[in-house]
Amino acid sequence: MAEIVIRNLRKEFGAFTAVQGSTFTIRDGEFFMLLGPSGCGKTTTLRMIAGLELPTSGQILIDGEDVSQKPASQRDIAMVFQMFALYPHMNVRKNIAYPLVSQGVPRAEVQRKVAEVARILRIDHLLDKGVGGLSGGDRQRVALGRAIVRNPKAFMMDEPLGALDAEFREIMAEELRALHDRMHATTVYVTHDQLEAMQMGDKIVVMNHGVVEQFGTPQDIYDHPATLFVADFIGSPAMNFLRFEGSAPAGAATVTLGDTPIALPELREAASGSLVLGVRPEHVALSDSAPLRARIEAVEYLGTTQIVTLSTPQGTIKARTPSTLPARPGDLTGLVLNASRLSLFDATTGRAFRTAANAGVNHG
């Protein structure tokens, strides 16, 4: 197993830049998520790590060795493709054995390993079947079997659950994570589903338009988004943005929204101009006496919690409150924002200002 270091990795297709200077580190044994919307360069990044695409510039280090210009066959990496790419002219056993055959592993050893992998993935009974008639989940397991059979340095998975239906995704996601916890294999996993990334990942890289927006643990990224894009992309319902003009010097712990002072983590740099205050729905509380006034527009009941949609002079806000608290559309109320959980962004650059809360978080 291995540590993978990505340095200033860049990929151009003709005039189009798919990945512009990514830098991040995947530690040994990590379950690492590449997250971003469609077309942001996730697959391209993964393919460069695997060696299916050569970078225009930048470095890929696997266990300290620069492999960026090496062919895929020499990188000792396994990959699970989105459509699985099982060899259609071979049966399940041959598919799983195929990576071992290329290494010249003796036959008996191949048989033993294939049997072992099939047992782990519970597909022993399918070994002599063709791959054509398999269900989505079984194909997925065969693809996984082909990946884990030879103990590669790392696994690449490109939306491996994308082809499965919703119910089955859950099961396979759990199986995948369980398999990882058992093998501790460095895994790079591509997804555009932020929930999947948050649930399964040890670390997440969020990409947009070929740029790494943020890199860190799911919790850091959720609590302290480094950019407006990340704040908006992660979490459902998304983070609320209150737009206003204002300024605050370094060291300040409040900003003025309209006439109302709002407390937030102490700023480590000066902020001024068009600003955006970010607050997650669960950090908004309703209190009739609070000075920040709002009007309830709609209430969405979700069992233990409810999503309350409110209109304020700064725009619409959603609050997640316990469903036991009364909230009726049309009522006027006040908002209390949880000061320690607020983020302040520069509206023009989209960047989050450094504060006492997010100082330790890795900006992308």
Question: Cα–Cα distance between 13 and 21 in angstroms, integer?
Answer: 14
Verify binding: residue 55, ligand ATP, rule CB under 6 A.
no
Give the chain's radius of gyration (CA, Å).
Answer: 24
CB 146, min distance to another protein, A:
7
- C-beta closer to Mg ion: residue 43 or 321: 43
Q: Are 149 and 127 in contact (CB under 8 A)?
A: no
- What is the residue whose two structure tokens read 């270091």? 5
Among 33, 40, 292, 342, binds ligand ATP (CB under 6 A): 40
CB 65, min distance to ligand ATP, A:
24
How many residues sit in the footprint of ligand ATP (CB under 6 A)? 12
User: Which amino acid, one-letter code, is at 43?
Assistant: T
- C-beta closer to another protein: residue 45 or 194: 45
Three-state secondary structure call for residue 32 = strand
Verify binding: residue 43, Mg ion, rule CB under 5 A.
yes
Binding range to another protein, per CB under 8 A, among 99-107, 110-118, 231-239, 326-334:
99-107
DSSP letter (8 states) at residue 146: H
How many residues sit in the footprint of Mg ion (CB under 5 A)? 1
Among 2, 77, 144, 294, binds another protein (CB under 8 A): 77
Verify binding: residue 85, another protein, rule CB under 8 A.
yes
Question: Cα–Cα distance between 100 and 313 in angstroms, integer?
Answer: 65
Among 20, 22, 44, 314, binds ligand ATP (CB under 6 A): 44
Question: Residue 211 has which token pair?
Answer: 């740029």
Question: Cα–Cα distance between 206 and 216 in angstroms, integer?
Answer: 9
What's phi and psi for 161, nearest 5 deg?
A: -100, 0
Three-state secondary structure call for residue 290 = coil
Binding range to another protein, per CB under 8 A, among 80-88, 165-173, 188-196, 278-286:
80-88
Give residues in contact with another protein (CB under 8 A).
Answer: 50-52, 71-73, 75-79, 81, 83, 85, 87-89, 98-99, 102-103, 146, 150, 156
